[in-house]
Chain A
């Protein structure tokens, strides 16, 4: 559905940040992009979302380049949840979620009952409906992330094609309780709505517990890719982070990574 092929990008000409990454996201897939800080994950997600254009290579959605679609048509298919959302002004939770409907409305159109219903459903799906009238700025980190996910859901609601949610280290600034909260919301959404999810993270256990497919990226290049159980090995983790780790396979088949010491790549 969303296919990146040999994508290159750099913020200035001499230092490419993304060096020839390819990725194929199937409808309903959950793909994790793993890599240390500064490996180019965020930039690659921007290329997938179409907010940056690759300097070489291509990103295609349903066989057409992203650039051939208008911004709002693209927004009806692909929504993005950033690592953190800082508002310049005090909006309520409901207003933030309603901003997800931007791409569905005409220039001077006011939201109708459909939009309100989509937003209510999105807030309910993320367990934030009781926060609707709270100022966004007063929420905890986990609550904020759930509300932003709700906005992304509202953005993807009412479209006809298979929607895609891109998340950029959504749990990086959260403590462990909120991390699990966000993960469970994502898992639920995937189960209920068949969302395709691409999530970038440097959290190995989050990736292990959520994703069925992984892309390991270091310094803008892919060092390994494939199904989670085949890619998430001690050898790959060492190559990725320079860390000696033990990968424990629990009876459920889920993998848990236990980092032991830094050894260098």
Chain B
């Protein structure tokens, strides 16, 4: 039995290298060909240098967006699975994506125009919508119990998902065809952020969530034993569950504000990672965050180049890879 410290170093180095490789490689490819020499030719004014603008405005923020969203969704997926003690939970199981979708749909349909905290209307409304969903689910799960009931959490989340979906259909009644189409495309995810502002806006939240995840690793291990056993091992179960729910929800909200509700990252990455490093959350969490970053950046590379000059929504790529994987997982468990 190698020590945890050694495995942690090995895991971080391995998946870290993968993530770094993806982030370095991704800005070099795209739907068009650019000259790197020209892009890094500082003697030319930036505003006169299409190669530099493609590299620094189109590709680099997009790559960083993919890495952030991938890391946040994959790590949040791990936390939700640990919290709900259900390996099939995703960051969107508890209604966060439906809340975000409702916000985005409202912003698109009613043509809202504002900027808040560096976010334009659609991502800001999506983030607000996800917070609303989180608040409702949390309130419901607290209502009857002394602590936090994961069963109520799950039921409330699933019900809220259905309810918000109905609200979305209702709002759609006011939308014209083009708005509906744009909302649909937003739901498939889009990492073409075209500036660093959405990343900067989500950065503090993402960072705080990841720091909390680091603390949550050991509590999540204990929660795998069941609430009573975890409590008797010395864990403040209710506190840990609250922290897990809120931090994972914020991470998911931050990710959705950047790239929309990109599916499957939050479930296939945790599972792949567990197959490789085992179940100890102190290894699974960093590995999932790094692998999630690499995976989404890679999927986005495919989305940008497969059918160039047309681009596929990145959510289509993750779903095409994730759907069959998910089914395989179900069959394997059964």
A–B contact with Cβ pairs below 8 Å: the answer is yes
Which residues does A use to contact B, with CB under 8 Å?
46, 49, 51, 71-72, 74-76, 78-80, 82, 85-92, 94-96, 99-100, 102-103, 105, 107-108, 110-111, 116, 132-133, 151, 155, 166
Determine if B234 and A72 form an interchain contact, defined as CB atoms under 8 angstroms apart.
yes
Asked, given contacts A71-B235, A88-B85, A89-B274, whether A102 binds B218 with beta carbons under 8 Å apart, the answer is yes
Determine if A88 and B86 form an interchain contact, defined as CB atoms under 8 angstroms apart.
yes
Determine if B232 and A95 form an interchain contact, defined as CB atoms under 8 angstroms apart.
no
> Would you mind naming 8 contact pairs between A and B with Cβ atoms under 8 Å apart?
A89-B224, A95-B221, A95-B278, A96-B225, A102-B235, A103-B233, A111-B4, A116-B3
Closest to A72 in B: B234
Determine if A87 and B224 form an interchain contact, defined as CB atoms under 8 angstroms apart.
yes
| B1, B3, B232: most-surrounded residue (chain A CB, <10 A) | B232
CA distance A211 to B87 in the complex (A): 41
CA distance A78 to B234 in the complex (A): 9
Tell me which residues across on chain B come within 8 A of A155, comparing CB atoms.
233-234
Closest to B223 in A: A88
CA distance A94 to B1 in the complex (A): 9
Taking a contact as CB atoms closer than 8 A, the residue among B1, B234, B279 that contacts A89 in the complex is B279
Determine if B1 and A132 form an interchain contact, defined as CB atoms under 8 angstroms apart.
yes
Determine if A71 and B236 form an interchain contact, defined as CB atoms under 8 angstroms apart.
yes
Closest Cβ of chain A to B77, distance in Å, is: 13
Please count how many residues in chain B sit with their CB below 8 Å of the partner chain's CB atoms. Answer: 32
Determine if A75 and B279 form an interchain contact, defined as CB atoms under 8 angstroms apart.
no
Which B224-254 residues sit within 8 Å CB-CB of chain A? 224-226, 228-229, 231-236
Tell me which residues across on chain B come within 8 A of A103, comparing CB atoms.
233-234
Tell me which residues across on chain A come within 8 A of B214, comparing CB atoms.
108
Determine if A82 and B228 form an interchain contact, defined as CB atoms under 8 angstroms apart.
yes
Determine if B215 and A82 form an interchain contact, defined as CB atoms under 8 angstroms apart.
no
Closest Cβ of chain A to B272, distance in Å, is: 14
Tell me which residues across on chain A come within 8 A of B228, comparing CB atoms.
46, 51, 80, 82
- Beyond A78-B232, A151-B233, 15 additional contacts (C-beta under 8 Å) are A71-B235, A80-B229, A82-B229, A85-B225, A87-B224, A87-B225, A88-B87, A88-B224, A89-B82, A91-B221, A91-B224, A95-B279, A99-B221, A107-B215, A110-B282
CA distance A116 to B5 in the complex (A): 13
CA distance A257 to B85 in the complex (A): 41
Determine if B226 and A91 form an interchain contact, defined as CB atoms under 8 angstroms apart.
no
Determine if B234 and A75 form an interchain contact, defined as CB atoms under 8 angstroms apart.
yes
CA distance A80 to B231 in the complex (A): 10
Determine if A75 and B233 form an interchain contact, defined as CB atoms under 8 angstroms apart.
yes
Tell me which residues across on chain A come within 8 A of B235, comparing CB atoms.
71, 102
The answer to whether the Cβ of B280 comes within 8 Å of any Cβ in the partner chain is yes
Question: At the interface, is chain A mostly helix, strand, loop or mixed?
Answer: mixed
The answer to whether the Cβ of B74 comes within 8 Å of any Cβ in the partner chain is no
Determine if B223 and A102 form an interchain contact, defined as CB atoms under 8 angstroms apart.
no
Determine if B222 and A75 form an interchain contact, defined as CB atoms under 8 angstroms apart.
no
Closest Cβ of chain B to A90, distance in Å, is: 5
Determine if A71 and B234 form an interchain contact, defined as CB atoms under 8 angstroms apart.
yes
CA distance A95 to B5 in the complex (A): 14
CA distance A170 to B214 in the complex (A): 34
Closest Cβ of chain B to A124, distance in Å, is: 14
Determine if B232 and A80 form an interchain contact, defined as CB atoms under 8 angstroms apart.
yes
Closest to B229 in A: A82
CA distance A89 to B214 in the complex (A): 19
Tell me which residues across on chain B come within 8 A of A74, comparing CB atoms.
234
Tell me which residues across on chain A come within 8 A of B223, comparing CB atoms.
88
Asked, given contacts A72-B234, A78-B232, A110-B4, whether A99 binds B225 with beta carbons under 8 Å apart, the answer is yes
- The digit string for B1-22, where 1 denotes a CB below 8 A from any CB of A, is 1011100100000000000000
Determine if B232 and A51 form an interchain contact, defined as CB atoms under 8 angstroms apart.
yes
CA distance A108 to B233 in the complex (A): 16
| B8, B86, B225: most-surrounded residue (chain A CB, <10 A) | B225
Asked, given contacts A82-B229, A102-B235, whether A92 binds B278 with beta carbons under 8 Å apart, the answer is yes
Closest Cβ of chain B to A77, distance in Å, is: 10
Determine if B224 and A49 form an interchain contact, defined as CB atoms under 8 angstroms apart.
no
Tell me which residues across on chain B come within 8 A of A107, comparing CB atoms.
215, 218
| A85, A99, A151, A155: most-surrounded residue (chain B CB, <10 A) | A99
Tell me which residues across on chain A come within 8 A of B218, comparing CB atoms.
102, 105, 107
Tell me which residues across on chain A come within 8 A of B1, comparing CB atoms.
94, 132-133
Taking a contact as CB atoms closer than 8 A, the residue among A46, A90, A100, A111 that contacts B233 in the complex is A100
| B5, B82, B231: most-surrounded residue (chain A CB, <10 A) | B231
Determine if A82 and B224 form an interchain contact, defined as CB atoms under 8 angstroms apart.
no
Determine if A88 and B82 form an interchain contact, defined as CB atoms under 8 angstroms apart.
yes
Tell me which residues across on chain B come within 8 A of A92, comparing CB atoms.
278
CA distance A108 to B281 in the complex (A): 12
Closest to B233 in A: A102
Asked, given contacts A99-B221, A102-B218, A110-B4, whether A85 binds B226 with beta carbons under 8 Å apart, the answer is yes
Taking a contact as CB atoms closer than 8 A, the residue among A46, A51, A99 that contacts B222 in the complex is A99
CA distance A76 to B234 in the complex (A): 8
Tell me which residues across on chain A come within 8 A of B233, comparing CB atoms.
75, 79, 99-100, 102-103, 151, 155
Tell me which residues across on chain B come within 8 A of A96, comparing CB atoms.
225
